Amino acid sequence: MKTQYQTTVSATGGRNGHVKSEDGFVDFDVLMPKELGGKGGATNPEQLLAAGYAACFDSALNLVIGKAKVKPEGETTVKATVGIGPNDAGGFQLAVKLSVEIPGVEKDKAQELVEQAHQVCPYSNATRGNIDVELEVI
């Protein structure tokens, strides 16, 4: 791979700590959600993954839509739902559901475009075979 962009973010204090990027754009506390025994009240790693995956997948989707010369009736929307839970090996694992809306595009065509975007998106390529990713056209 020829790297075109890279970034660095440091974390201190783990799930109840602070994250900061070298450029300063990311600079905030993270807290474990109440559902995992934390106090909540701040963002957490799963929300950050959901935000990054949704944005990246939406970009990949629009790339695919442009190449296919499809004209949606409005902006596409990708909602990423990230779950975390224990696995059978004593650790934890993630699962993702991507709910995708392509206004004015017939459902079968939209499904085809979403499947193509799943092959293009770097997050999808990074997670493929490692976590369950469900694709849903809404």
**pLDDT tens, residue order, the chain (138 aa):** 899 999 999 999 999 999 999 999 999 999 999 999 999 999 999 999 999 999 999 999 999 999 999 999 999 999 999 999 999 999 999 999 999 999 999 999 999 999 999 999 999 999 999 999 999 999
Specify whether 39 is located in the same domain as 70: no
Q: State the residue range of the domain holding 53.
A: 45-137
Task: Give the torsion sign (CA, 81, 85, 87, 90).
Answer: positive
Q: What predicted TM-score, i.e. pTM, was given to this entire model?
A: 0.95
pLDDT at 131 (0 to 100): 95
Specify whether 67 is located in the same domain as 125: yes
Specify whether 58 is located in the same domain as 21: no
pLDDT at 4 (0 to 100): 96
Specify whether 52 is located in the same domain as 22: no
Specify whether 12 is located in the same domain as 30: yes
